[in-house]
Amino acid sequence: MSNQFRALIINQEGENFTKEIKSIDKSFLKHGDVTVKVEYSGLNYKDALILKNGARLVKEFPHIPGIDFSGIVEESENDKFKAGDEVILTGWRVGEIYFGGYSQYAKVKGEFLVKKPKNLSLKQAMIMGTAGFTALQSSFTTKTTREELLLGEKVENVIVSGASGGVGSMSVMILNKLGCNVTAVTGKDSNVDYLKSIGAKSVINTSELTKEARPLDKGLWDGAVDTVGGNVLENILSQTKDGGIVSSCGNAAGIKLNTTVMPFIIRGVKLWGINSVTASIKRRQFLWNEASKLIDFELLEKSVKEIGLDDLNDVYVKMLKGETSGRHIINLNK
């Protein structure tokens, strides 16, 4: 392991919040029992909020942000990992209360790591990152939980809200590969062709789901992935057919939900919350093993931008203003 390496350090002293790329050594890394040479990290919306001002998520300073990464084990005091193992990390509040992936080396608890499947590259793992893992969780909950765990009817017609975003677009792709007819919901008409190219059978504008929802509307969907919340989720619930599962994984349109018990007690609809932060390692390993079968990386890479640590300062600002599209991944060797 190199004695000196680069990391992005954020600090808070009084009202003064700072960001700086510095050269540090391994003694700076204070958490965990596995040291990883980080190859790639991602820029997620939560990362952008933390880079702006800590977002009240970071409790101790100085701090290294970056909520997900992929890399190669350099040193390990954990018997489940050895030098040379390729690993993935998402969640567990790494990048918030533990040092994260915006560093050429990271030291984390072995229990936070998943061994990378052989059919996935380290770069592909971060092209997916937290967004892709959340999409996998949501899509499998909507389709296979109903069909296999609950022994329910076949899931054919599904709707995905916020389909232009990272979680939404990958959910469209995954559910299409799982054999569903996917209706994608987007506020941007310019994304219609792209959404159809990744597997949407039809596309509707978000405005169609922002009206005040009826207690029960015409049943249209066997299941749904909702990344938006608010009025959109209210309408999706009222339009979901008997026994359908609505996976809820976002709140871009607000945290409040004004609905009735009618979808739940008349149709047996299930609102299933998706939390990718503390998902079990067993579930993580299963989902990552499925990724290469369900994601068309050649198609997805067209909307991926690879940047270095030095570019983060400009890009996160644009992300917070809604001026970015696709996924940004950080190459720590760049």
**DSSP letter string, 277-310:** SS--HHHHHHHHHHHHHH--HHHHGGGEEEE-GG
pLDDT at 2: 67
Structure tokens at 152: 């329910």
Tens place of pLDDT for every residue, the chain, 334 residues? Answer: 668 999 999 999 888 999 999 999 999 998 999 999 999 999 998 999 999 999 889 999 999 999 999 999 999 999 999 999 999 999 999 999 999 999 999 999 999 999 999 999 999 999 999 999 999 999 999 999 999 989 999 999 999 999 988 899 999 999 999 999 999 999 988 889 999 999 999 999 999 999 999 999 999 999 999 999 999 999 999 999 999 999 999 888 888 999 999 999 999 999 999 999 999 999 999 999 999 999 999 988 888 899 999 999 999 999 888 788 778 999 999 8
pLDDT at 252: 80
Tell me, yes or no, whether 137 and 269 share the same domain: yes
Tell me, yes or no, whether 61 and 97 share the same domain: yes
Do the domain assignments include residue 285?
A: no
Do the domain assignments include residue 278?
A: no
Do the domain assignments include residue 291?
A: no
First-to-final CA distance of the chain: 18
The answer to whether 303 and 326 have CB atoms below 8 angstroms apart is: yes
Tell me, yes or no, whether 30 and 98 share the same domain: yes
Tell me, yes or no, whether 98 and 135 share the same domain: no
Tell me, yes or no, whether 146 and 110 share the same domain: no
According to DSSP, residue 117 is labeled: P
Strand locations in 77-188, DSSP E? Answer: 86-90, 105-108, 114-115, 157-160, 181-186
Tell me, yes or no, whether 112 and 137 share the same domain: no
State the residue for tokens 């579930």: 283
Which structural domain, as residue segments, surrounds residue 257? 131-273
pLDDT at 1: 66
Distance CA(176)–CA(158), nearest Å, equals 9
Tell me, yes or no, whether 262 and 148 share the same domain: yes
Tell me, yes or no, whether 185 and 142 share the same domain: yes
Do the domain assignments include residue 283?
A: no
Name the nearest CA neighbour of 100 among 135, 79, 120, 130: 130
pLDDT at 78: 97
Tell me, yes or no, whether 155 and 38 share the same domain: no
pTM of the model: 0.92
Instruction: Report the domain count for the chain.
Output: 2
Number of Cβ atoms within 10 Å of the Cβ of 48: 21
Do the domain assignments include residue 287?
A: no
142-173: string of b/e by CB count within 10 Å (b at 16+)? bbebbbeeeebeebebbbbbbbbbbbbbbbbb
Tell me, yes or no, whether 41 and 167 share the same domain: no
How are strands ordered across the β-sheet holding 200-205?
A: 200-205, 181-186, 157-160, 221-226, 240-248, 270-273
Q: What is the DSSP string of 181-230?
A: EEEEEES-GGGHHHHHHTTEEEEEEGGGG-SPPPSS----EEEEEESS-H
Tell me, yes or no, whether 63 and 187 share the same domain: no
pLDDT at 302: 83
From residue 143, give the alpha-carbon distance in Å to each of 179, 252, 332: 9, 23, 36
CA triple 277-256-267, angle to 5 deg: 90
pLDDT at 303: 83
The answer to whether 201 and 179 have CB atoms below 8 angstroms apart is: no
Tell me, yes or no, whether 136 and 230 share the same domain: yes
Domain CATH code at residue 147: 3.40.50.720
The answer to whether 172 and 195 have CB atoms below 8 angstroms apart is: yes
**In this structure, is the dihedral angle defined by the CA atoms of residues 182, 228, 166 and 95, taken in order, positive or negative?**
negative
What phi and psi values does residue 10 have, to the nearest 5 degrees? -105, 150
From residue 102, give the alpha-carbon distance in Å to each of 7, 43, 312: 6, 10, 10
The answer to whether 86 and 71 have CB atoms below 8 angstroms apart is: yes
The answer to whether 110 and 80 have CB atoms below 8 angstroms apart is: yes
The answer to whether 186 and 195 have CB atoms below 8 angstroms apart is: yes
From residue 63, give the alpha-carbon distance in Å to each of 12, 106, 107: 9, 12, 13
From residue 156, give the alpha-carbon distance in Å to each of 47, 177, 248: 35, 12, 19
Number of Cβ atoms within 10 Å of the Cβ of 29: 18
